[in-house]
Amino acid sequence: MDIHHHIAQRLRELRSARGYSLDALAERSGVSRSNISLIERGESSPTAAVLDKLAIGLGVALASFFDESADGSAAHEGAAAPSPHIRAADQPRWQDPASGYVRRRLSPPAPSPLQLVEVVFPPGQRVALDSAVPGAEIHQQVWLLEGRMELTVGNTLWPLAAGDCLAMQLNQPIVFHNPGATPARYLVALATVAPFTQLAPRSQLPARVAATTPPTARRKP
């Protein structure tokens, strides 16, 4: 499936799963109703900033738009289970229309709390994301393979050279900037510690789980 139609399908799935109308999602995300409708019909190619706003309005990570299905499982009953293997040629690629950065999902479609993404970021470009995912604790690490990057996490600027790795939590704004004269290439690893659905009270959890389950982040690219 074309990546733009895949994003359109995922947006429809996520909105439907939450019972949001177009107007409701427009109010929650700050993206106009007409723009959301165009994206859902595959007639508009959203930028990373627009996808980020929609993700926050839906209460999911931006990466959810590139998942296989709304719940990470097979699309319908009787379908084959998602494969734990994916060939390099089949890894979906998406290019941000605004900055030109290219995102390639490396992870297979099988459900996993860990996701790997490769990004090629053009020189001189900057992308600012809110990245605050309500009700989820999502951790991200960026390992720079080639070039230079500057990541501003909250109010802290982190210059990265090839080989450097930066860990962060998706609970605050993040600005990605390539200050160099050549493209930067980096690996992103994302791990969801707490599920998007509300956790049971700790008193109702088995003792072993209650002792090891971290608190859910309430507010934090």
Question: In the prediction, which pLDDT does 80 show?
Answer: 75
- Region 108-113: mean pLDDT is 90
Q: Is 93 helix (H, G, I), strand (E, B) or coil?
A: strand
Q: Is 152 helix (H, G, I), strand (E, B) or coil?
A: strand
pTM comes to 0.80
* Distance of alpha carbon 7 from alpha carbon 48, whole angstroms: 12
| Residue 1 pLDDT exceeds 80 | no
* Distance of alpha carbon 45 from alpha carbon 94, whole angstroms: 10
* Distance of alpha carbon 64 from alpha carbon 163, whole angstroms: 27
- Region 76-94: mean pLDDT is 84
- Region 100-122: mean pLDDT is 95
